Structure 1
């Protein structure tokens, strides 16, 4: 990082290294918030797939510190994320941001107390589906204008360039599959596309319950997009069965789901698997190891492409 030197040493490397890392983080927090290091009582690593997240207790309150992971700032526009995150506060969908550095991607926000993170299993409960669809509908029906557009076909070209710059590798039949994915654009245009504020990373873990309120966190990929992208993402990441997906969509629309929406769902699932497989390759080119995660998503995209071809 340009402004603050953070040692990316994972706790499993030993208590000595962990202590050194936490000391660096403490110093950084003290500087950016202009507070005494003594007011920072504890720092705890709480994980994260794209980033390293820390639970920080200071001035008698808990906060969450986000430090971008390997290659994350190559993929994400921190300017767009900051702008969108701040205007989302008008809808009270997320917690307040205390500090956000566009240059480094470091963010400090209020911690959600009594938090219960939704997971693929709890997401299948009807009461959670109701809360999730209500929240997404509130976002999609709002008059908010995010400062950017999330266009998956543009993102594919963008990720391809980043992967090349990172000296990463694509899958063997990438060119063929990419061509098939890009052909889906014509089908989407015929089905009709909308442009509303979207989260674009509606994995269950980004939905957090606290008492009687549901929050949607981590707006890194947010932008104007078709609302079906968010619905497809949640269904895909939660591994909903056909019946569960039917219920989820009926709760969102409050009526019977039109066939065209189901086609759009499948297309967006393909696009997401393809794009996030590229994301995985970029992350691995920058030092991470996701095992077979990227390959699994890539192969699932190919299976669903065949389903679309059968329909058309």
Structure 2
């Protein structure tokens, strides 16, 4: 669907650094759970693009430990994440939380047994699209109230401020592109906006399948938002073709998709690429290296802006 391919760069660690890290993790788990270090029997890195995640064996059970990455404390409200995660747990969309530190974002949650993390290829299978749309519909139609609003235009201003504080740089034509993005706000108003509980980071990797159940994990960016944001994000991150996106939307709505929803999808894709490109610049200003990831998203946003301008 999109001619741009987004390059993802994941960190690598040496064995010596890893051994030292695991020792520190063992001590930390022992302290926060008030247990002996001997009860922490194994630690295994399971990767992550922005956070460090580990599979840990504690008191004869497996858990997932999440340690936030560089600069995350400035971007994420841990209070909102915890509040919203507990609602997701009540809705049986995510697993139980054993420990959550609202100050530093360290989280220990129950491990999903026989877990299969969804990737873009797996996400394109119809049976997985059905499960994904059912899960998202459950969230969006739950009538629950998350503790915060996720407004992309407010987030843009917030991220700009954080980038400046981090002494980071934006793209050369940023101010021009930003003005084009801000014009989309009025188009969205005309199309009509909703406010429901949303995950807001529906990359395929945040969907985890276990036997006959699908889970949605990592609620860092969750908040009240338009449900089309979640749908647009999933389609964008899975690189769905036009036909795949049409199928995905028809499964979500259980009927033919209204044209206005398709326009909203494209607008939210632009907003997501634009916002996450600023996010990438913030992360890199704090020491991370994402290669061309941010620039790729920024360029794709510019391409899709032209498509919207042609429609309006």
**Paired position in structure 2 for 1:5:** none
- Report the alpha carbon displacement of residue 297 of structure 1 after superposing the two structures with TM: 0.3
- The correspondence of residues 178-257 of structure 1 with structure 2, limited to 5 A, is 178-257=178-257
Q: Map of 1:21-32 to 2, 5 A cutoff?
A: 21-32=21-32
Q: Is the 8 A contact 1:194 1:227 kept in 2?
A: yes
1:82 alignment partner in structure 2: 82
State the SS of the aligned residue for 1:47.
Answer: coil
State the Cα distance separating 1:11 from its structure 2 match. 6.6
Higher relative contact order (CA 8 A, sep 6+): 2
For 1:47, the equivalent position in structure 2 comes to: 47
Residue in 2 aligned with 1:118? Answer: 118
2:224, 2:155 → 1: CA distance? 13
Please list every run of 5 or more consecutive structure 1 residues that lacks an aligned counterpart in the other structure.
Answer: 1-9
What is the alpha-carbon distance in structure 2 between the residues aligned to residue 12 and residue 308 of structure 1? Answer: 43
Q: Cα distance, 1:21 vs. partner?
A: 1.4
Provide the residue aligned with 1:300 in structure 2. 300
Partners of 1:195 and 1:19 in 2: CA distance: 46
Deviations 1:47-72 (A, max 9, x none): 11110001101111100000000111
Q: How much does 1:307 deviate?
A: 0.3
- CA separation in 2, counterparts of 1:145 and 1:253? 22
8 Å CA contact retained: 1:45, 1:55: yes
Measure, in 2, the Cα distance between the counterparts of 1:95 and 1:89.
Answer: 6
Residue segments in structure 2 that go unaligned for 5+ positions in a row: 1-10
TM-score, structure 2 length as denominator? 0.96
Give the secondary structure class of the aligned counterpart of 1:150: coil
| Distance change (3 Å), C-alpha of 1:11 and 1:179 | closer
1:50-65 aligned at under 5 Å gives the runs: 50-65=50-65
1:12 aligned counterpart, secondary structure: coil
Q: CA RMSD in A?
A: 0.8
